[in-house]
Chains A and B, each alone.
Chain A
Amino acid sequence: MKKGPESRACPLAAPGNLVESNLDNNSSNGASAKEKDVLSSSQELENVQLKPSKETSRKKLCGYLNKLGIKGPIKTWKSRWFFYDETKCHLLYYRTAQDINPLGSIDLSSASFDCKMENGEGVFEIRTPSRVFTLKAISKQAMMYWLQQLQMRRWEFCSTQNRFPVGSSQLVNEPLAGRTNADNDDFLPLVKTPTEAVGLKAASLPAPQTSTALQNISLKHPWTEIQNTVYNICGSKQLWGNNGHVFNFSEFQEHPENLVEEQEAEMEAGCAVKEGTPEDGRMEPRLNWVRKARWMNSGFPGLHEELSRERNPTDKVSVLQQQILTLTEEVKSQKELVKLLHKALEAAQQEKRVSNMYLTAAEDKDRLELVRHKVRQIADLTSRLEALEQEKKELEQILALRDSHIQELKEHVQLLMEKNHAKQEVIMALTEQMARELSDSLQEANTITAETLYKQQEEIEHLKDDIDAYKTQNQFLNSEIHQVTRLWTSVAENEKALLMKCACLQARNCQMESKYLTVLRKLQEAVPGLPSSHAELVRNLIQEALQWDVKEEAEEGFNLNPVSEYDEYGFMTVPDYEVEDWKLLAKIQALEIKSNNLRSQEVVEKPLRDKWNSVGELSPSAELKSLIRSGIPVEHRQRVWRWIVSRHCSHLPDHYQRLLRQSKSTEHPACRQIELDLPRTLTNNKYFSSPTSQLIPKLRRVLLAFSWHNPAIGYCQGLNRLAAVALLVLEDEEFAFWCLVHIVENIMPADYYSDTLITSQVDQRVFKDFLSEKLPRLMAHFEQYRIDVSLITFNWFLVVFVDSLVSDILLRVWDAFLYEGTKVIFRYALAIFKYNEEEILRIHDSVEIYQYLRFFTRMIMDGRKLMNIAFNDLNPFPMKLLRNRRSVHREELETELCELEQIKAAYVKERAEQRPQDLQEVASEEEEEI
């Protein structure tokens, strides 16, 4: 019995162990069981290869699998040999392939198979109504093989059970097999047999598990384990013994009682030897043994049936011979068993001798001792039995507890399954409902779509009609707008023309009026010498004219051409003259400017404005020069002036601020004169006329800064006007300062504004030269009436026409002046005379001429005309000539001044000599007076 574990390594007792194995292959006599098995398996392999479809069903389904032990606290995998019993459709499992008695069986006919990938590779389950078996194949492929095979076998069994009587071993059913295969094709291709893991060949191999052998021992079936061990030993003996005791099986069958007795006796001996508890430990295993034996017998009839079935054909002699051989071997093993029994008998006899020894014990004392010993032993055993029974009870209780727990869990599982089922049903219901609703809504939507489509189409038709209607309406309205616009344009043009005409007429009217007033004034002057009636008439007329004037001015308020009071730079358009005839003159001027502007607006101003708008970056060029000469539009003037100023003056940063600080800390001698002139600067401009004007402090700062910037000049009357104009256009104080610097230091010749104003005087002489050159008739006229034009023109040059020309023309002159220089002053001064040449020539009185010259600059209304004269009619105007004349006249003037000084000195000397006499004379006269 101690050889048990070793026996697994022993050659396999094929016929006894694998009851269902292919008997055809067990023919090789004398060869070791292992060899036979290898042979058979290799043959089987060949069969599989040669005719797989036919032999698949015949092939034995067996192999090692790991079974998950469900009993016990720790679930462990145990290696088991599985074998499929075709007749009952049971899957039997053994500890090893060599074992004769299975540890358990699984009824496949009512089982289901399952594999769950999450459990691990190769793990699958067989579910029977009573239990779930968790099994594990060595690989996934093997698992699939097992599952497929099991399925197939189950199917085969079930189908054959329906066709044939139970127990029929006719398994080959080709259509069925084919169908099975076909069915398999639908799901999974037939898995190739994993030869290393299944089949009979696998039985020869050690169990694939690496765990200890002890682990594989079934704790659940200890008796079966023992039995198998015993059988293995017997099997070995049979092999060794070579006595054919085939009939032992039949004997077992016929006399099961005997066998039981025999086995019982054997086991009694075995147990005594093994456990040393022959009496007590025997009871249960014996019962098991009996059960097992019966079960074994009930499993055997299949063999006999098969044998009988195969005996029926007459030509199966060879088969029978082989069987005889097998049986012979069995007989051998039976003999071995007999030997074993003999040994057991010997052991019994040994015991009997011991009893006899006791009986024959010499003294009672010894006997008593023995009995006592036995009694003690018995008591000990009894107590041990009680303990064991106690333990058993406890275990039973635990078992019951576990069972109830299992029951609970099962119930729970059941519950969960039910729940799951319910949920599935709900899901199904919902899915159906959803599907139904989906289809419903789709249908609904379709119908709605159709309806709305129809409606929309109708609507579209309506809209199309509307569109057509609107189109025609639109076309009509367009033509209407076009026509009305044309009408309006023509009306506007007419209006414009009428306005211009009106302006012209007004201007002419005013001129006439002024002439009439002039006549009246002259008459008034002559009143003393007139007859009284005439004088009266003249006085009445003057009175009337003045009242009419007032009345007319009131009407002017409703004039279609209201002349705005101030222009863009704040200059009064109609200077507020106090004298009546001047008032009229001013009015005439304003009206003429207006009519001029109206006339030139479309023809000249607009294209010029467009040109200016297209000027981007400023750079000196002939084109820019001519553009500037035509005058810079108001919106561009500041930009251009700033550009000119910054081009010529290197703006020293902080210079202006420094000068301002200086002028704050120290009072400049020119300060008094500046203060005196500030309120008297550009009195016809609204930004300067008011003493609270913001430009006045600015102007003060600019002039003070300049007086510090250029102490040689300091402040000269007239600079205030230059700075004021610069401020009006440039706005920025510092820019205005630099503009002033630009004019005084860059444009004008040196000493223009300094102490003696010598170059200013020189320029007057130069100008006279130009005048006699360009306007000889006029110059002759002036000479005839002893007119000194420099009395008039001096300030034109000094302040660049400020307060002489109307602002509109003035700024155009300044545009060109700032860009080109002093020549522009000469050009314009000459142009002014040329503009009025004829008028002047008509006057033949020096005072009248002077009177006229005093105002004639303001009478110039046509800036374009003046510009054309200045830059076209007066050409050529070479700068070189101007320079030469300047230098010549400067020399002359300096010598003159020098002579004058000499004369002065001489006069002073002479006076000094005469003085006493003069003083006497004066004194005498005074005395006389008194």
Chain B
Amino acid sequence: MMAIRELKVCLLGDTGVGKSSIVCRFVQDHFDHNISPTIGASFMTKTVPCGNELHKFLIWDTAGQERFHSLAPMYYRGSAAAVIVYDITKQDSFHTLKKWVKELKEHGPENIVMAIAGNKCDLSDIREVPMKDARDYAESIGAIVVETSAKNAVNIEELFQGISRQIPPLDPHENSNNGAIKLGKQTSQTG
């Protein structure tokens, strides 16, 4: 019997970058052009096998508009990972991403796994944010970075698999949800 680990993941990012779409694609494998904007937050779960464990993602999708930022702590509190999404066609959204990273670093849980998703990669011909910028930034903060397309189901599974891998395996001696494993170790593992 495989052990099920519940992992709380929150999605952050500017409005309209495709947070809900990524969740929708990941959970339901479905894409809707006009998915309703999230007010407050939206909650979804998906169980993914990872090694000899089952990772049950408890995904909290948040509202993108800036005035909802004040609510964000409710969602990222106790999160194992945060997916920070930007729109590769909008430079602004990348700027907002940086703000989120900063906030997470300041108020977020310690050791939270951060994954940067450059969404709408299907629209690369109108790209505003170069791949390199994102990669460089991700490296600077020690975050996973991947360019995704919720519309075309590009790198969505991979994004969450990446997160799964970043989550340290459950220590039988520790009951804590919050795997207090050093970032350095994890990166070395992936590498």
Given contacts A676-B15, A761-B70, A907-B106, is CB(A847)–CB(B45) below 8 Å? Answer: yes
| CB atoms of B67 and A578 under 8 A apart | no
Interface segment, B56-64, B124-132, B149-157? Answer: B56-64
Q: Does B170 contact A (CB under 8 A)?
A: no
Complex alpha-carbon distance, A799 and B43, angstroms? 18
Q: Which residues from chain A contact B44 at a C-beta distance below 8 Å? A: 854
Interface segment, A34-42, A141-149, A202-210, A922-930? Answer: A922-930
Complex alpha-carbon distance, A755 and B65, angstroms? 10
Interface segment, A394-402, A438-446, A789-797? Answer: A789-797
Q: Which residues from chain B contact A721 at a C-beta distance below 8 Å? A: 39
Interface segment, B110-118, B159-167, B183-191? Answer: B183-191
Interface residues of A in 797-811 (CB under 8 A from B): 798-799, 803
Interface segment, A107-115, A230-238, A589-597, A677-685? Answer: A677-685
Q: Does B49 contact A (CB under 8 A)?
A: yes
Q: Does B144 contact A (CB under 8 A)?
A: no
Complex alpha-carbon distance, A758 and B32, angstroms? 32
| CB atoms of A791 and B40 under 8 A apart | yes
Q: Which residues from chain A contact B58 at a C-beta distance below 8 Å? A: 847, 850
Nearest Cβ on chain B to A862's Cβ, whole angstroms = 25
Contact of B2 among A529, A757, A925 (CB under 8 A): A529
Given contacts A673-B15, A847-B6, A851-B45, is CB(A795)–CB(B40) below 8 Å? Answer: yes
| CB atoms of A803 and B36 under 8 A apart | yes
Q: Which residues from chain A contact B56 at a C-beta distance below 8 Å? A: 847
Nearest Cβ on chain B to A438's Cβ, whole angstroms = 96
| CB atoms of A850 and B43 under 8 A apart | yes
Q: Does B34 contact A (CB under 8 A)?
A: yes
Q: Does B123 contact A (CB under 8 A)?
A: no
Complex alpha-carbon distance, A642 and B186, angstroms? 62
Q: Does B168 contact A (CB under 8 A)?
A: no
Interface residues of A in 701-720 (CB under 8 A from B): 716-718, 720
| CB atoms of A854 and B43 under 8 A apart | yes
Given contacts A673-B65, A683-B32, A716-B65, is CB(A798)–CB(B40) below 8 Å? Answer: yes
Complex alpha-carbon distance, A929 and B138, angstroms? 14
Nearest Cβ on chain A to B162's Cβ, whole angstroms = 15
| CB atoms of A754 and B2 under 8 A apart | no
| CB atoms of A676 and B2 under 8 A apart | no
| CB atoms of A757 and B70 under 8 A apart | yes
Contact of A788 among B6, B15, B74, B187 (CB under 8 A): B74
Most chain A CB within a 10 A radius of its CB, from B16, B37, B74? B37
Nearest Cβ on chain B to A72's Cβ, whole angstroms = 127
Given contacts A528-B2, A925-B183, is CB(A791)–CB(B60) below 8 Å? Answer: yes
**Number of residues in B with C-beta < 8 Å to the partner?**
44
Q: Does B158 contact A (CB under 8 A)?
A: no
Nearest Cβ on chain A to B101's Cβ, whole angstroms = 13
Name the residue of chain B whose CB is nearest to the CB of A908. Answer: B106
| CB atoms of B65 and A717 under 8 A apart | yes
Interface residues of B in 2-47 (CB under 8 A from A): 2, 6, 15-16, 28, 30, 32-37, 39-45, 47
| CB atoms of A925 and B39 under 8 A apart | no
| CB atoms of B40 and A794 under 8 A apart | yes
Nearest Cβ on chain B to A278's Cβ, whole angstroms = 155
Q: Which residues from chain B contact A908 at a C-beta distance below 8 Å? A: 106
Complex alpha-carbon distance, A716 and B75, angstroms? 20
Complex alpha-carbon distance, A673 and B142, angstroms? 31
| CB atoms of A794 and B67 under 8 A apart | no
Complex alpha-carbon distance, A851 and B36, angstroms? 19
Q: Does B137 contact A (CB under 8 A)?
A: no
Complex alpha-carbon distance, A689 and B16, angstroms? 17
Name the residue of chain A whose CB is nearest to the CB of B75. Answer: A791
Q: Does A118 contact B (CB under 8 A)?
A: no
| CB atoms of B43 and A791 under 8 A apart | yes
Nearest Cβ on chain A to B21's Cβ, whole angstroms = 11
| CB atoms of A925 and B187 under 8 A apart | yes
Complex alpha-carbon distance, A791 and B8, angstroms? 14
Q: Does A911 contact B (CB under 8 A)?
A: yes
Name the residue of chain A whose CB is nearest to the CB of B65. Answer: A717
Contact of A683 among B34, B67, B142 (CB under 8 A): B34
| CB atoms of A677 and B37 under 8 A apart | yes
| CB atoms of A756 and B67 under 8 A apart | yes
| CB atoms of A929 and B188 under 8 A apart | yes
Complex interface bits, B69-96 against A, C-beta within 8 A gives 1, otherwise 0: 0110011000000000000000000000
Complex alpha-carbon distance, A757 and B28, angstroms? 31
Nearest Cβ on chain A to B64's Cβ, whole angstroms = 8
| CB atoms of A791 and B68 under 8 A apart | no
Most chain A CB within a 10 A radius of its CB, from B36, B56, B63, B64? B36
| CB atoms of B63 and A717 under 8 A apart | yes
Contact of A754 among B67, B74, B184 (CB under 8 A): B67
Given contacts A579-B28, A798-B40, is CB(A791)–CB(B74) below 8 Å? Answer: yes
| CB atoms of A929 and B191 under 8 A apart | yes
Most chain A CB within a 10 A radius of its CB, from B34, B56, B70, B188? B34
Q: Does A525 contact B (CB under 8 A)?
A: yes
Q: Which residues from chain A contact B106 at a C-beta distance below 8 Å? A: 904, 907-908, 911
| CB atoms of A926 and B139 under 8 A apart | yes
Complex alpha-carbon distance, A197 and B41, angstroms? 138
Nearest Cβ on chain B to A850's Cβ, whole angstroms = 5
Most chain A CB within a 10 A radius of its CB, from B30, B58, B63, B142? B63
Please name the 3 residue pairs, one residue from A and one from B, whose CB atoms are nearest each other, closest first. Answer: A794-B40, A795-B39, A578-B30
- Selected A-B contacts with CB under 8 Å, 26 pairs: A525-B47, A529-B2, A578-B28, A578-B30, A579-B28, A679-B33, A680-B37, A681-B36, A683-B32, A689-B34, A717-B64, A753-B67, A757-B71, A761-B70, A791-B43, A791-B60, A792-B43, A794-B40, A795-B39, A795-B40, A799-B39, A847-B56, A850-B45, A850-B58, A904-B106, A929-B188
Query: Given A755-B67, A904-B107, A928-B188, 14 other A-B contacts at CB below 8 A?
Result: A528-B2, A578-B30, A689-B34, A716-B67, A717-B63, A717-B68, A757-B70, A761-B71, A791-B41, A791-B75, A795-B39, A795-B40, A847-B56, A929-B191
Chain B residues packing against A (C-beta within 8 Å)? 1-2, 6, 15-16, 28, 30, 32-37, 39-45, 47, 49, 56, 58, 60, 63-65, 67-68, 70-71, 74-75, 106-107, 139-140, 142, 183-184, 187-188, 191
